Each structure stands twice: as C-alpha cells, then as structure tokens.
A and B are shown apart, each in its own frame.
Chain A
Amino acid sequence: MAPALLLLLAVFALPMVQYAWLSTQAQTVLTGLEPQPVGLAQWQRLLQDGRFWQDAFQTLRFGLCSVGLELVLGLAVALLLNQPLRGRTLLRTVSLLPWALPTTVMALGWRWIFNDPFGPINLLLAQLGLPTVSFLGDPSITWLSMVWADTWKTTPFVALLLLAGLQTIPADLYEAAALEGANRWQSLRRITLPLLSPYILIAVLFRLAQALGLFDLVQVLTAGGPAGSTESLALYAYINAMRFLDFGYSATLMLAAFLLMLLLSGGAVLLWLLSRPRLAGGQR
C-alpha cells in the first residue's frame, strides 16, 4: 500500500507544493534560469495580467457551456439507451467511440470539418443557399466550435454515467407515478432527476475539472486563436513555460487554475447540497 500512496503523493501533491514555492520565485532567461526569490511579485503580476483574466474567463465559459450541454445531451442519450431497444449494445458501442479516440486525433479531424468553405458543414450550408460560417476564424464563434467538438467527444462519458444511475431507479416508481396520472415530463422531473442527482453531481465535478484543464483540444484545433479568443489557462501556462521560459509565472498560473477549479467544484457541491432538500421534497 505504501509505495502506491507515496507515488500518488509524489505525482499529485508534490507538484502543487513545488508550484507554491516556484510562484514566489523568478526563474526566467533573465535570471539565467536559476530561481531567485521575488516574494509575491508573480501574484501581483497575475492580478494585473489582462491575458490571465481573459483566459480565465474563456476557460470558465468553455467549461460551463460544454459541461451544461453535455449534461443535457448526455441525459437524452442515457434515456434513449435505457429503453429496451433492438441493437442497444451496438448503439452503446457506437456512441462510445468518440470518447475513446485521442483528443488530438479528432481535433485534427474537426479542423477539417469546420473548414470554411470546404468543410462538410459549410458545403451543406452553401448547398442550401446559406452563407458559410467561419467556424475557426471568427473570435465570437470559434469558442463555440470548440464547445461543439468537446461535446461530441465527452457526451458519451456523461451518458454512460447517467445510464448507470438510471438503471438503479426501480421501474415500479414510474408505474406508480403513471397510475397517479403523471405524464412523462412530470415523472422525469419528480422521479428521475432527484434520484439521478448524485450521478449528475459526479459527472459535473469530473467534467468540470477536466474542462478547466482544457489543453489538447485547443492546442490542436485553434492553438488559442483567433486573436487569443480560445486560449485556455492551461495553454497560457504551457506557453509561459515552453515558449517564454518563464517558469515562475507558469507555476503561478497553474496554481491559480487549480484554485479556480477547487472554488468551482466547491460551488457545485454546495449547489447540490442546497438543492437536495428541494429535490427530496419533489419525490413525495
């Protein structure tokens, strides 16, 4: 047991401690890549760094939108897969495929699909006589294209998680509700959602954390562009370390992203705890 737990500490906890230390140092080309203590100067710089705030906003926007969308679509897919359909296993396999592919592989694929004007979506739009859309070239649209690609990839994960939750709900609850004259919408709201809420929470927590670490997709699909409109915190931290060789500031950014994630996860848990009595009330 000990070796595994030690390895876990070394891989997950130690870096955070190291970042905390490194965020009080300047380690750049100017310091000869040797760390020099600078107190809280890096944090001051962070607070005044417009690019940091923009990236934080963009990362949050991406995370909230894609996780929200994945929940809605995931629930729809889970409800579909929960029905006794012909070919359900095949359907489950097919819907799992997007999740299994490497992000960088499909990000490259999406770059072609979103192409303006030769990608299939724009070909279709042109066929219909509609104007083509610059999916990857327009700062106000590109982040939505990224949400789209991420939703495509991760909806299966959310769907399977919710499906596992759906399968724990006894069928007689629905039968009883139907006898009482509840329609499908009512039984979804009063039975399915309350009983599913722990699974929804797990999915939200997990997906939110992953979405805030957005890196693979943005690097291959847009490289942060156009005009920095899709850059994420992780990508900015990466650029600081690998391109600007500014390790102290990169560590500060990563720690800031981590704190942001903790804050958001805490918020999600709080929201769930607050809504629980109300949802439980809905069961009666």
Chain B
Amino acid sequence: MIDTFPCDDKDWLVAFLYDELDDAARRQVEDHLRICGACAAEVESLRGVRRELSGWASPDAALGFELRPTEAVSTHAEVVRPARWWSRPAMPAWARAAAAVLVAAAGLGLANLQIRYGAEGLVVTTGWMPAAEVVRPAVSPAAASEEWQSALAALESSLRQEIEAGRQPTARPTTGPGARELDLRRMTDLIEQSERRQQRELAVRLAQFNRDLEVQRRTDLVRINQGMGQFEGRAGAEIQRQRQMIDYIMRVSAPPPR
C-alpha cells in the first residue's frame, strides 16, 4: 500500500485527534498509523495530553446572575450578581447614624457610665464596681483639730467601758459540758466558713486561669496565622523566582533559530 500522508503535515493529525475527518479520510489515517510508528506514537501521546486536560476543572463558582431592567425592557438594565453579606447595598446615612447611636448607648450601658455633679464637683465613674470614695475638699486646720480631739475622747470613753465590762463576772458558763459544746459548735462554724471561703477563692482562681488560658490561646493562634501568612508569602515569592529562573535557563539554552 502506498502511504500518501506526509508525516510532517500535522493538520490531518489534529483533525484525526479531534475526530473532524470524514470516514474515508479517517480510514486512510488509520491505515497510515498502522505502518508508521512515529505518527502512531505522536497521536497516542497527544491523546494523553487531552486526558490530562480533561482533569482541569473550572471552580464551582456561585454565579446566579440576573437581569434587572431599570425600566421596562430597554437597553437600560443591569446584570447583577447574587448579593454577598460583605457586598450588601450601602445603608442610608440616617440608618448608619441611628446604628452608631445605638451602639454607643449600648456601650455606655455596659460600661455603667455615671455622671454626677454635686458638692464634690463633676464626678464621672464607669464599671460595675463601687465608685471610689470622693476626696472631700480640705477643711480649715482649727476645725480639723477640734474634730480630731472629739473623736479621740469618744474612743477613750469606749475603751474604758469595754475594760470595765471585762472585769464584771459573765453569765456565760466557762466550764462544764455546755461550755464545751458551745466552743465545739463555734469551732465547727469557723472551719466551715473557712472551707467555704477557700472553695470560693479556688473557683475564682480557676475561672481567672481559664480566661487567661483562652486569651493566650487566641493570641498564639493570631501569631501562628501571621507567621504562616508570612511564610506562604515568602514561599510564593521563592517559587515565582525559581520559575522565572527556569524559564530564563530554558530560553538561553534553546538552540538558536536557523
């Protein structure tokens, strides 16, 4: 059989590859491929490339475009993509202002802001803890001395009364089973109070520890993310540089055109 196909003419090969030959031409190509190993190998390798190409899928994008004419059907229309949460239409200014006021009010409410104006002047406090005692305005030295002396006299009188009372015999039994039982109950109460206090302290400490641990965990995660981002950026730049270098080497190492 006489082979009529020039092997360096690739039009027929491409047409055969994509099945765009009529029956007669296809049979002729098939006959040629049976006797020409090089062409058969080339067809086979290009089929392999096509198989690889079939694995290149485009991403599964959420499209859902829609035409919204601005009038009845006319050329004035817009094709809109489905809205996303970060690309909602902008809010009007009044709505933004109202939202800002609401947020500020909520923030102030949470902070328990209190503003008072009185004898002690303007006092602004925040938070739910009791407000710090206001330092009163200074009084005159003479008045201070008088106040101090009267307080001292009251304290002296109080101490004297207590000492006198201690000298009097008490009605409370100091010996015997009744006194022991009373002491025992008191001791038990003290121990129970102490245990409850310790439990409360332990619970508070544990909660604080958990909070600190969570804060530390979040901080570490942010740091790791930042580190990974920097690393990815550096790796991407390095890959790009390597690729450019390979391209350059391939270009300079290619044989010069004849």
A binds B: no
Interface of A toward B, CB cutoff 8 Å:
none
Residues of B within 8 A of A (CB): none
